[in-house]
Amino acid sequence: MITTTPDSKEVAQAPINLAFTSEQKIAALREMLRIRRFEQQALKFYNQGKMGGFLHLYIGQESVAVAAASLMNGHDEMITAYRDHGHALAVGMSMEECMAELFGKATGCSKGKGGSMHFFAPDKHYWGGHGIVAGQVPLGLGLAFALKYKQIPGCALCFLGDGAVNQGVVAESLNLASLWDLPIVFIIENNGYSMGTSLERSSAIDNCLAERAAGFNMKWSVVNGSHFYELRATLHTSMEEARTTLRPVLLEIKTYRYYGHSIADANHKKYRTAEEIEQYKENHDPISCWQHQLLEEKILTESMLESIDGAAKEEAAASVIFAEASPWPEPESIFTDIYYEVDQASEAGRTGVHFFSDSR
Amino acid sequence: MPLITYRKALNEAFSEELTRDDSVFLMGEEVAEYNGAYKVTEGLWERFGSKRVIDTPISEAAFLGLGVGAAMMGLRPVVELMFWSFAYVGFDQIINNAGCVRYMSGGLINVPMVIRGPANGGTSVGATHSHTPENLIANTPGLKVVCPATPYDAKGLMIASIRDNDTVCFMENTLLYGNTGEVPEGSYTIPLGVADIKRLGTDISFIAYGRAVLTALEAAEILQAEHGISAEVIDLRSIRPLDEETLLTSVAKTHRVLLIDENKPFCGVSAQIAAMIAEKAFDELDAPILRVTALDAPAIYSMPLEKLQLPTPERIISKALTLF
Ligand SMILES: Cc1ncc(C[n+]2csc(CCOP(=O)(O)OP(=O)(O)O)c2C)c(N)n1
Ligand SMILES: [Mg+2]
């Protein structure tokens, strides 16, 4: 259960937060608002039948991705699961390319080939967007392995859900990360539920999920996701630990999603109470908490807030216009982006038959 | 040309590539200090050190996934599976990640990785250790599958696979590791997607890959000597990409086809090729397309019975004779 106390003075005074300029603090708020407004637009058009498949909203969890992205040093690499819109926007992907992807359009970040769960931007050190629960976790290991192999002073940020923790490959990966001294921070976004299954019904724990790391000789801690300074301070320490000592760290971040598991989840008021949802919105909303903090610090004014939020809403609305106006992918594109060598028309790509559909 | 084993030919391919390209590394269970469960990587750890030749814990899903992640970042992992049968505990990483990430990222990512190890029956290790997943893997567009039959092909195809910018699933055979053949020293590549005519013939096309090529060659000799039938033996070498042209040219010459396959019959590689020939060369055929495959049962342990499960020269010959 998340506590209602505000960020402590102590974490606000952590060097990484003292170095956080007023502009950066406002930028963090802007990012969170952009994510929320983007997803609200997405929800609206999903409900109008403009999108296929699933739509897993990040609303309620925005602080986590934004805090992590605010600490990336240009060498760090990020990877997450299917609840990936927030991370994508936080690392700098545009609303337009993301919205167009949701609409299945050619201008989407994955050219309409990946959808909601599969956003990628390697140029922004963002490696997806993965639909198989915990499937991304060993990929995160690989990112960390490559950083170490190439002697790049960065770390991998590998996000997973509280439900994902129970996949076997997570245990394998924690072991390998520790055994091989890989620079990786595993970040469990514990929103209390995996689909309709509460943490209590899915996980055998003593006090928390993160302490499983102790069995792998790995440092761990638990963080309140509503506290932006605390998030940044702990993430920073963990990332520095990974970068400089090459030791992995496991963090568990207490957070909450307001919507159902996906929008198709009509049951989400059955496995949890309306009161529970309201109580999180009232007392723990990461955006309200951060706004409040910045108002207190007198960095933010009500009118600034209004204009930042207004701009985020406009940007989100514009991204829908962009997506709607964008073309569908051409049928020929079904057969591109499968083999690199074929796409390059290299000798390897031109040798032998790669696709077996009857072309007649 | 030196005569070396299939195992040594692979070993030479690794040492060539480890020397040539710093981004290549080998990883797997027992590949380093133990020299490889089948000694394919013998001596490489001593020569190239622990950064390049890496022993893993028994965590196929994690180290296959690690390989995919490292390859996305531009490294060239060569990941050994002690048996391809063990891929099944890491299948998600091969199919969903190595196989799909390029597509789902709209081409932003590629995965230049080789996943390799033996994939064969015939060694009395029971069903769980005798799988031949070339058909399963080749069913995923985005993955490539290679099955060499000879030392020469093994080395050239391995070097080409390591240099390939897509994921190549390289399937070896424990029964072939000790076979010898002429193999050039130094580096050479054999392109993926080019079949090899291992024996010229005029009356019937035997189409095979992996160890079945050797069985087919044996059958072809007997068929010639005892029945005066001249069989052409085509070695696919690579399953995906596939050299359809060489197959169709041979069919147009012989007008008869027998597919020989250590894979199971149901949706096996030979089923795909039979369908392809029926679609593209029906008019060339003077007889139905037939197959000799592994018997459609789990691999049995009992030694004499297991021998019956895989294609034998006898089964090939009697099937071939029904086509005349
Ligand atoms: C291997 C696998 N099993 C099941 C699913 C279906 N599924 C998708 S998300 C999910 C719940 C995961 O919950 P959690 O890890 O807590 O992440 P959250 O959705 O809360 O972000 C399930 C069961 C899947 N995508 N992959
Ligand atoms: Mg969850």
Question: pLDDT of B95-145, one tens digit each?
Answer: 999 999 999 999 999 999 999 999 999 999 999 999 999 999 999 999 999
A1: pLDDT strictly greater than 50: no
* B244 shares contact with chain A (CB less than 8 Å): yes
Q: Which CATH class is domain B3-182?
A: alpha beta
Dihedral in degrees, nearest 10, Cα atoms B216, B222, B227, B230: 50
Cα of A252 to ligand 2 centre, how many Å? 11
Mean pLDDT of chain A: 96
Query: What's the CA gap between A165 and A216, in Å, rounded?
Result: 14
* Chain B residues close to A175, C-beta within 8 Å: 57, 59, 62
- Selecting among B12, B16, B29, B60, the annotated active-site residue is B60
Q: Whose CA is nearest to atom 11 of ligand 1?
A: A194
The protein residues having their C-beta less than 5 angstroms from ligand 2 (an ion) are A 161-162, 191, 194
Q: What superfamily would CATH give domain A9-329? A: Thiamin diphosphate (ThDP)-binding fold, Pyr/PP domains (3.40.50.970)
Q: pLDDT tens digits for A8-54?
A: 788 999 999 999 999 999 999 999 999 999 999 999 999 999 999 99
Mutate to test the interface with B, among A141, A147, A159, A335 (most CBs of B within 10 A): A141
- Kindly state if the Cβ of A117 falls inside 6 Å of ligand 1: no
Segment A347-351 mean pLDDT: 97
The pLDDT value recorded for residue A9 is: 81
- The answer to whether domain B3-182 and domain B196-321 are alike in fold is yes
Q: Which two tokens stand for residue B102?
A: 């390029």
- Known active-site residue B12: no
* ipTM metric: 0.96
- Kindly state if the Cβ of A132 falls inside 6 Å of ligand 1: yes
- Kindly state if the Cβ of A163 falls inside 6 Å of ligand 1: yes
Q: pLDDT tens digits for B214-243?
A: 999 999 999 999 999 999 999 999 999 999
**Domain ranges (residues) in chain A:** 9-329
* Chain B residues close to A138, C-beta within 8 Å: 61-66, 68-69, 93
Q: pLDDT tens digits for A300-326?
A: 999 999 999 999 999 999 999 999 999
Contact A130, A81 (CB under 8 A): yes
Q: Which two tokens stand for residue A8?
A: 């402590």
Nearest ligand to residue A168 Cα: 1
A353: DSSP letter: B
User: A235 pLDDT band (50/70/90 cuts)?
Assistant: very high
* A53 shares contact with chain B (CB less than 8 Å): no
* A142 shares contact with chain B (CB less than 8 Å): yes
- Known active-site residue B60: yes
Residue B185 C-alpha, separation from nearest chain A C-alpha, in angstroms: 23
Residue A41, SS3 per DSSP: helix
Contact A7, A229 (CB under 8 A): yes
Which one of A198, A199, A257, A261 would you pick to mutate in the ligand 1 pocket, going by the greatest count of ligand atoms within 8 A of its CB?
A261
Site of tokens 């814990």: B57
Nearest ligand to residue A134 Cα: 1
- Kindly state if the Cβ of A194 falls inside 6 Å of ligand 1: yes
Q: Spell out, as residue ranges, where chain B has pLDDT lower than 50.
A: none
The pLDDT value recorded for residue A7 is: 76
Q: Is the peptide bond before A129 cis (omega within 30 degrees of 0)?
A: yes
In this structure, chain A runs to a length of 360
The pLDDT value recorded for residue A4 is: 47
Of residues B13, B3, B18, the one with CA closest to residue B172: B13
Contact A29, A308 (CB under 8 A): yes
| Beta pairing partners, B172 | B118
**Domain ranges (residues) in chain B:** 3-182, 196-321
CB B166 to CB A340 under 8 A? yes
Cα of A194 to ligand 1 centre, how many Å? 6
| Beta pairing partners, B257 | B205
Cα of A164 to ligand 1 centre, how many Å? 6
Query: What's the CA gap between B301 and A50, in Å, rounded?
Result: 56
The pLDDT value recorded for residue A266 is: 81
Contact A106, A149 (CB under 8 A): no
* Chain A residues close to B238, C-beta within 8 Å: 352
State whether CATH 3.30.450.20 applies to domain B196-321.
Answer: no
A3: pLDDT strictly greater than 90: no
Work out the percent of chain A whose per-residue pLDDT is above 70. Answer: 98
Q: Which of residues 198-217 of B touch A (CB under 8 A)?
A: none
- Kindly state if the Cβ of A188 falls inside 6 Å of ligand 1: no
Q: pLDDT tens digits for A254-285?
A: 999 999 999 888 888 889 999 999 999 999 99
User: A349 pLDDT band (50/70/90 cuts)?
Assistant: very high
